[in-house]
Structure 1
């Protein structure tokens, strides 16, 4: 192993700072000079600076490191290539929490950064189920429905989106139940698992397609969140639904003008095959509704419109219930993640009209037109049972195409902690 660098956090100003990261060096170690107005952001930037200097192994030392500041350092320090170690500091509870966060985050990061060739829809479903079963043991049961069987069971959205690929689409239905056979489902998690998104016949550009191995970030995020909660001692029943498919072009692919009839009777005209995430999530939301969950949370890398609205520093959140939005915001703040609510009103359901079906899956203009993120959320709302509390997370902050001052290129896993906290509530 390379030499380990000691890193101390301080509130003292530096005599000379290392760029804008407030980083200085003394002897065999480094000092991070925490910013008063943006303390965690300055820590994360300093970690990126260290890693960019070729530092791979660090020992965090000193009394100012708490769990959130150490996690900010971790998020800035990790890269898709790995090859790093961080020795945490703190009491036993803090060390255990950080180790759990890192383990679950690294699992999600590996899934998201995996090549699309190596991660087919069925393989994603199997990998998630196997990892959770390893953590939950006999408390975990699951089934995977794939290929033509999806159509037989009326999971029409996943089937339509995935039928263009030679590799079958799949729905993972997983039940974590530590509370007995008759226990109600406290929470249902639904994740978008598009293992590669070409855009279908609404074909993306090469630049827009390059990062689309990450379009299963929602599936990885909810899986990792559930895994973290299980290891924290989650004692209530949770169901997980991963909606997995490849969105490819072929003679079997779904086409513009197709109409999909869903299990709840809703008909949808396809006006953009690149608005496929909402089509697969609709099946997962219906399954969650059938489970009579007390709360439904879905997570998806759903719209570019959300990124334009909140940037990649926030995840956009939507819900018809103000209490759900407040809970999500409180839980995100407690773990130093960032969410921002965007509008969702009943009239948003009418913003994607169709002359041939109950609704279209988007609007036939670039990016879905004005209010695209809200319109997508309202589409999903059609498939959530009446009066069921529901949170939709548009993961604008889940992936970075290029390295920046806060993140290395690739998966960030930003959102995992928020969902895990909501599960533990």
Structure 2
């Protein structure tokens, strides 16, 4: 199927999109043999179901995609992606798609073509789609490519996606889009005043030394800075995770992967802005020089941090990166991270929770999320909880005791390093635990498409 629309549209097979309540009316408009075929097949137009209809010569003349009921559609998204996987190889064009649904369903069709075949041969589905009329095909293709980059990065295990490989992916992206890139590695982090990034990553093997990746693109327009957590594997450090909790820690760089997917979309579409991407890339490993519970560290901006749990390392590496980003006074700054289990408990794996007090961003991203079927959910930066991240012996506590409001206290911690810059933080999951239309089980982008859609309004505010 691939991530592109069909270029040769001659002879495209009609794919009639029919809701359950409209099936009888639709059949009344069809030749008698078609109506008889549909009745004989017992086709009800249930959501996601498909029926192939042969022509008089036995070849495939058309297909019918069930569009279900409004109530069924409200419980999901990308409904025709399931149909795309059920169709035989060929080129198809939508017929009768309800107004306003073309962009979502066309993008879902593209995303349904994603396969992760690095480690075993997999065949992508062969049904290709003609871009529906009125849809910006190139834009949707760029969005699909960015999303699939995010998926590939998350799905790749740390043996092939450690800090050095994540750096290589950034270098390749910079070369593709003529962006500038600088990488600060190892002990140079201390020399350049990134102590928290160095501390979290110093216990890793020499080939996985900690680093800060800094990519910049564009020469004019407002400055947008994206900061992504790049913890390529998280053992928990000396506060070692149990085996079950470590199983998915290859995805702990999901914030970096999502930021890179978004950056890919922005650069491919040539948006009129200046883009900066900062990724602190580390492996939180265990060795004789690992940082310890009880240590007190001094961050780039001078704030001291008491370490009460070495498994709360993501906010540490982000802190130095955010402080560095804020020094350039961007017009908007955004961080993305697979940061807390508390966010997953609060909203589950489908929603991208975020924290922001900037009214322009909140309004724009909420509207955009509904438009592009990329749901987000705002959580509060509740000021009375500031006291929970202040341990007394240091300015900040990286892991407040008690377990309450873990996602909120993490976001409040990060905001201490964002200065006076307009800022939003996304605490994403980055993983789809079970296959859904257009989203196979595995790594997944969250919030990037909503952010992309919102940028014109956010950056003009």
Cα separation, partners in 2 of 1:234 and 1:44, compared to 1, 3 Å:
closer
Deviation digits for residues 239-296 of structure 1 (CA, Å, limit 9, x no counterpart): 1111111111121211111111011110111111111111111111111101110111
Asked whether the 8 Å contact 2:20–2:69 carries over to 1, the reply is no
Three-state SS of the structure 2 residue aligned to 1:61 is strand
Change in Cα spacing, 1:239 to 1:127, as seen in structure 2 (3 Å) is: same
The 3-state SS of whatever aligns with 2:71 is coil
Number of the residue aligned with 1:385? 419
DSSP 3-state at the match of 2:232: strand
**TM-score, length-scaled by structure 1:** 0.87
Q: Does the 8 Å CA contact 2:48/2:83 hold for their aligned counterparts?
A: no
| CA shift digits 1:111-142 (9 cap, x unpaired) | 1111111112132123123213312x2xx212
**Corresponding residue SS for 2:390:** coil
Task: Choose from 105, 109, 123 the match for 1:69.
Answer: 105
Q: 1:12 touches 1:33 (CA, 8 Å); kept in 2? A: yes
Which deviates further from its counterpart, 92-101 or 369-378? 92-101
Decide whether the 8 Å contact of 1:192 with 1:300 is kept in 2. Answer: yes
CA contact (8 A) 1:144 1:173 kept: yes
How many residues are aligned here? Answer: 411
Once residues 255 and 18 of structure 1 are traced to their aligned partners in structure 2, the CA distance between those partners, rounded to angstroms, is 62
Distance in 2 (CA, whole Å) between partners of 1:205 and 1:41 is 35
CA contact 2:296–2:394 (8 Å) conserved in 1: yes
Q: How does 1:327-346 map to 2 (within 5 A)?
A: 327-346=364-383
The answer on 1:25 being equivalent to 2:58 is no
SS in structure 1 opposite 2:136?
helix
Superposition RMSD in Å? 2.8
Aligned partners of 1:45, 1:212: CA distance in 2, in Å? 30
2:317 corresponding residue in structure 1: 280
1:12/1:190 CA distance change after superposition, 3 Å: same
Can you list the C-alpha shifts for 1:179-212, whole angstroms capped at 9, x where unaligned? Answer: 2xxx6x5211111111111111222222221111
Asked whether 1:175 is paired with 2:216, we answer yes
Q: Displacement, 1:106?
A: 1.5
Q: Is the 8 A contact 1:234 1:424 kept in 2?
A: no
CA distance in 2 between partners of 1:407 and 1:232 (Å):
23
- Structure 1 residue ranges without an equivalent (≥5): none
Instruction: Report the counterpart of residue 308 of structure 1 in structure 2.
Output: 345
Instruction: Measure, in 1, the Cα distance between the counterparts of 2:315 and 2:82.
Output: 34
| Distance (Å, rounded) in 1 between the aligned partners of 2:88 and 2:444 | 20
- C-alpha separation between the residues in 2 aligned to 1:67 and 1:354? 49
The 5 A counterparts of 1:292-307 are 292-307=329-344
User: Alignment partner of 2:78: what SS?
Assistant: helix
Task: Say yes or no: does 1:112 pair with 2:112.
Answer: no
* SS class of match (1:199): coil
Change in CA separation of 1:348 and 1:83 when aligned onto 2, cut-off 3 Å = farther
After superposition, what is the alpha-carbon deviation per residue over 1:48-88, rounded to whole angstroms, capped at 9, x for unaligned?
A: 4764x697877453241611122234445644346325434
- CA-to-aligned-CA distance 1:147-172 (integer Å, 9 cap, x gap): 11111111112111111111111111
Whether contact under 8 Å (2:156, 2:250) holds in the other structure is yes
Larger radius of gyration: 2
Contact 1:272 1:361 in 2 (8 A): yes
8 Å CA contact 2:146, 2:261 repeated in 1: yes
* d(CA) in 2 for partners of 1:30, 1:411: 31
* Partner in structure 1 of residue 28 of structure 2: none
User: What residue in structure 2 maps to residue 84 of structure 1?
Assistant: 124
Aligned with 1:157: secondary structure? helix
- Which residue of structure 1 lines up, in the alignment, with residue 192 of structure 2? 153
Mapped contact 1:190–1:281 kept (Cα < 8 A):
yes
Q: Indicate the residue corresponding to 2:6 in structure 1.
A: none
Contact 1:305-1:371 within 8 A present in 2 as well: yes
1:333 offset after TM fit, Å? 2.0
Return the alpha-carbon distance in structure 1 between the equivalents of residues 414 and 389 of structure 2.
12
Query: Are the structure 2 counterparts of residues 20 and 370 from structure 1 closer, same or farther at C-alpha, using a change threshold of 3 Å?
Result: farther
SS in 1 for 2:70: coil
1:254/1:35 CA distance change after superposition, 3 Å: farther
Equivalent residue, structure 2, for 1:291: 328
Contact 2:229/2:253 (8 A) holds in 1: yes
**Structure 1 CA distance for aligned equivalents of residues 250 and 323 of structure 2:** 26
